[in-house]
Structure 1
Amino acid sequence: MFNIREDFNCCKTVSCRNFGINKSDDYIYKSKRLGYLAVECKACGSHPPWVNNQIIENILKEKLAFHFSRKISHCTHCYQYFFFNEKNEAQLHGFTAAGTQRLKCKNCQRVYSVGKHKNIDAIKQVLQTVIDKLDTSAAIKKTGLSARLYYFYLDKLSLLLTNFSRLKEQEILQRDYIALQTEGKVLHLDHKRGFYTLFTAEADSGYILLQTSNVTQQKLTKQDTYHSTENTVIKDGCSSNVENEINQRYQQTMQRKHFEKLLVGELKPINRCNLINPARLSYVHFSMLRAFIYKTERYRHYIELESSIRAAALMSAYPEIKTEKAEIYYYLPFADSKETLINKKAGWWGDRWSSFESGAYSAITKKLQSNPPFDLRDTEYLNRYFTYLEGSLNKGLNSMNTLANFSEIHRVLFNFCETNKGKSPAMQFALAEKPYTAQELLEEAIRFNQYVPKKD
């Protein structure tokens, strides 16, 4: 597996000589000079909040296991994760006692079998209950399945669709350039439950590559557990012009206990789970995003104006930033602004902002020229997905596995079935030639996941 950063306690000021460097002589570790635990960088005077690396590692393993390692068609020893490992080839190796074809991995010589997808009708019924937006009890009743079997086939449905999408994505994500866009959103469930989630889309197509929630089954420290009714997020459109909006957001960030102390209102955790602070989720999410960029020559990343997301984006892209292969931009949506900004300085880090017809932007990783190379073609991709998810997700969910399965099913359905101006995100991303119905997509996923070894 390729390298993912393990230590996030370092200077995060791009212009500082210590940017991204661990264990500098300029650091005072676990400083409390500003009233919170931080890494104090004497070179630039910054105090990035202290990060519990072990908790990030534990949650990263949990999220990787769901989003990238759910395999049903290859040797799991050699091909543990999508993107992170090269696909293995296999040869036919007889049959099991039950008559299932056995395969022998050409790389590690291990023998394994790929079972057939059984009871497809039950999986189709479960999919229809998802499309019909039935609550769980009504869905179980309609399918005629027991509760145990319903959840079993829900997991199979999620596995098939996720595996299909990852295999398709992996086929085309070896390219010279990719652009990503990331924002954080709050999804509310019944009984004041809910979660903070990060969405990342391929910026030129709106194809949703990754969504991660701050729901976890890991044990958390008090400092890393989210439990708040406060809200430090400024809502869009509360200012009369874009410059005021930018300054207002920076001012609100300054009023927090520290820059990364993002609060998103009252959220109660679901059954037998914890909610991790959004800032910590950001480090996990951006670490996983390396799956989509590590084979590209260069990439751009457009992120919302949020300090906790900024820190995670910089740490994830550190190797590419140092070699000038990565460009990271703040993007702030703002409609009908009468003001024109050109290289306007704002905020704690002296970010320089320019505006265009759909908002404003700032290059975090390098100085802007008079005509900066900003290119975000459609600024509504993530909002469209959030609106879709808000209207489609079962709000009565109260277990982590079920929530994760529903979320992934909807991610794939949105990418391949929902259209804007006649095209689905998968079509825009060159993964499909037509929009699918949900049932057509399931049939395609079943066919696609049947592994057939190459003949010698």
Structure 2
Amino acid sequence: MLTLFTINTCKSFGCRNLGLPLSASIDYSWPDYRLGFPALHCRACGSYTPLFDEQQYNEWLSAHLKAYASEKGYFCPECYNLKTICYGYNPQRTQRVQCRACRKVWTPKRQTKSKIVPPERIETVPLIVPFQGSSAEQKLYVLFSLDADRGTVLHISTNFTPHASGETLRYHWCGNIEPDLPHSDIVNRVDMREMQFLQRSQFDEIQYGSAALKRNARGVILRPVIAVHGHFRVLNILFPQVKTHVISHECFLRGAVITAWADLFRQREGELWFIEEEINEAENDIPWTFLRTTQHGWWQSQWQLWVQGKNRKMACPLTGGDRSNAKILSLTASRYFIHWLYKQTKFTHSAKLSAGRVTQVLLALAHDYNDKMTR
């Protein structure tokens, strides 16, 4: 039986329907086209969340999670339970594993399973990476999540998938890329980013560039929002009790995090922050100083502006929490990792590789980076 992963739900912090599926609330009405696209209207908070084909999403996500679990061995590929025991060896003398919940037995492809230390804070940023597809310089949407304190990579996803996916889940390039925001003033950059969200056909429908695979190539390029929801579902299975998330300024990252950890956010036990940075002195150790609070976007979100020498950052608390935490929150772990990536020849030559191969290279490099960090 197909496991239900809720994606069509209210994503408004503070709403009683946060994370509840369609069948669980009388406040929902759908489809609603008031914003020009099919949306879920939550009458309790007034939000209009874009609707997805939930069956197609569940079919893809089930295959995605099963493949991840079978490869890594961190959780059961059938019920996603984390509690497993060693269960003898197969004829090739590789270790079998049994789920303590559903009794599923399988042999993880990777036999050197290392223990994952639960992070206190998860830091997540996207990156656009070139690959060789139907023509040169096609683009992959890549998402990195790191342990914000230890600096290790927790999970990497791209919007390439080898699994079958419905048409509504696929990325369609319309030829109008969202412009970069090179504005020298960080406050104006945050404001312009909020304006970009409102100019999209729907809030999560990003156009980041062409991503056409080679003719007859296996696999599919997903809409980034779908890959992001899958990314955070993996992290939620691995780290269900993580209460603090720091993310780049992208609205559908917020929606995916708050959906995956909806129970914690509904109980007001989680913190979710947007961070925007302008780092000119990477090794600056002087304390951050608070300057002022500004409001931005349709929702008039409150952002804190901080300065550290020639460095500036803006922090936006999306789910309440302790606002004084803004002083210590940053994107430092991801910044160091991406800086390291650009020194690796395998990564800098990604434009010559297929989308699937680029994904494999990124995973291998993350493993090398974590080894380096632990040493």
Give the shorter-chain TM-score range.
0.7 to 0.9
Matched with 1:413 is: 368
Matched with 2:206 is: 262
**Which of 347, 354, 364 does residue 391 from structure 1 map onto?**
347
**Which of 311, 315, 322 does residue 361 from structure 1 map onto?**
315
Q: What's the CA shift for 1:373?
A: 4.9
Write 1 or 2 for the structure with the bigger share of strand. Answer: 2
Q: Which amino acid aligns with 2:352?
A: G
Secondary structure of residue in 2 paired with 1:330: strand
Q: What's the CA shift for 1:285?
A: 0.9
Matched with 1:375 is: 328
Alpha carbon RMSD of aligned pairs, Å?
3.5
Matched with 1:345 is: 295
- Matched residue pairs, number? 350
Give per-residue Cα distances to partners, 1:14-64, cap 9 Å, x unaligned.
133332233322222111122101101223322110022223223323332
TM alignment of 1:322-341, pairs within 5 A:
322-335=266-279, 341=291
Identify the range of structure 1 (344-353 vs 314-323) with the bigger mean alpha-carbon deviation: 344-353
Contact between 1:91 and 1:105, CA under 8 Å: does it hold in 2?
Answer: no
Instruction: Provide the C-alpha distance between the structure 1 equivalents of 2:142 and 2:201, rounded to a whole number of angstroms.
Output: 22
Matched with 1:301 is: 245
Instruction: Provide the C-alpha distance between the structure 1 equivalents of 2:8 and 2:185, rounded to a whole number of angstroms.
Output: 37
Matched with 1:205 is: 150
Instruction: Provide the C-alpha distance between the structure 2 equivalents of 1:312 and 1:399, rounded to a whole number of angstroms.
Output: 23
**Which of 166, 169, 184 does residue 126 from structure 2 map onto?**
184
Gaps of 5+ in 1: 115-158, 417-423, 428-433, 435-456
Matched with 2:286 is: none
Instruction: Provide the C-alpha distance between the structure 1 equivalents of 2:176 and 2:131, rounded to a whole number of angstroms.
Output: 18
TM alignment of 1:231-246, pairs within 5 A:
231-232=177-178, 234-235=180-181, 238-246=182-190
Q: What's the CA shift for 1:330?
A: 0.4
Q: 1:373 to 1:194 in 2, by over 3 A?
A: closer
Q: Which amino acid aligns with 1:197?
A: V
Instruction: Provide the C-alpha distance between the structure 2 equivalents of 1:310 and 1:106, rounded to a whole number of angstroms.
Output: 32
Contact between 2:246 and 2:273, CA under 8 Å: does it hold in 1?
Answer: yes
Matched with 2:17 is: 18
Q: Which amino acid aligns with 1:352?
A: Q
Secondary structure of residue in 2 paired with 1:355: strand
TM-score (norm: length of structure 1): 0.67
Instruction: Provide the C-alpha distance between the structure 2 equivalents of 1:187 and 1:253, rounded to a whole number of angstroms.
Output: 22
Q: 1:66 to 1:404 in 2, by over 3 A?
A: farther
Instruction: Provide the C-alpha distance between the structure 1 equivalents of 2:364 and 2:125, rounded to a whole number of angstroms.
Output: 20
Q: Which amino acid aligns with 2:172?
A: H
Q: What's the CA shift for 1:413?
A: 1.3
Q: What's the CA shift for 1:12?
A: 1.4
Instruction: Provide the C-alpha distance between the structure 1 equivalents of 2:292 and 2:160, rounded to a whole number of angstroms.
Output: 40
Q: 1:293 to 1:7 in 2, by over 3 A?
A: same
Matched, 1:193 2:193: no
Q: 1:347 to 1:382 in 2, by over 3 A?
A: farther
Q: What's the CA shift for 1:178?
A: 1.4
- Asked which structure has the greater CA Rg, the reply is 1
TM-score (norm: length of structure 2): 0.80
Contact between 1:56 and 1:283, CA under 8 Å: does it hold in 2?
Answer: no
Q: What's the CA shift for 1:336?
A: 6.1
Matched with 1:141 is: none
**Which of 258, 264, 272 does residue 218 from structure 2 map onto?**
272
Q: What's the CA shift for 1:345?
A: 2.2
Secondary structure of residue in 2 paired with 1:56: helix
Gaps of 5+ in 2: 282-288
Q: Which amino acid aligns with 2:320?
A: K
Q: 1:112 to 1:181 in 2, by over 3 A?
A: closer
Q: Which amino acid aligns with 1:225?
A: R
Instruction: Provide the C-alpha distance between the structure 2 equivalents of 1:322 and 1:215, rounded to a whole number of angstroms.
Output: 32
Q: What's the CA shift for 1:258?
A: 1.6
Instruction: Provide the C-alpha distance between the structure 2 equivalents of 1:38 and 1:111, rounded to a whole number of angstroms.
Output: 41
- Percent identity over paired residues: 20
Q: 1:360 to 1:414 in 2, by over 3 A?
A: same
Contact between 2:125 and 2:248, CA under 8 Å: does it hold in 1?
Answer: yes
Matched, 1:86 2:83: yes
Q: 1:373 to 1:103 in 2, by over 3 A?
A: closer
Matched with 2:254 is: 310
TM alignment of 1:121-270, pairs within 5 A:
160=110, 163-164=111-112, 167-170=113-116, 172-173=117-118, 178-190=120-132, 191-228=136-173, 229-232=175-178, 234-235=180-181, 238-270=182-214
Instruction: Provide the C-alpha distance between the structure 1 equivalents of 2:98 and 2:339, rounded to a whole number of angstroms.
Output: 42
Matched with 2:284 is: none
Q: What's the CA shift for 1:361?
A: 0.8
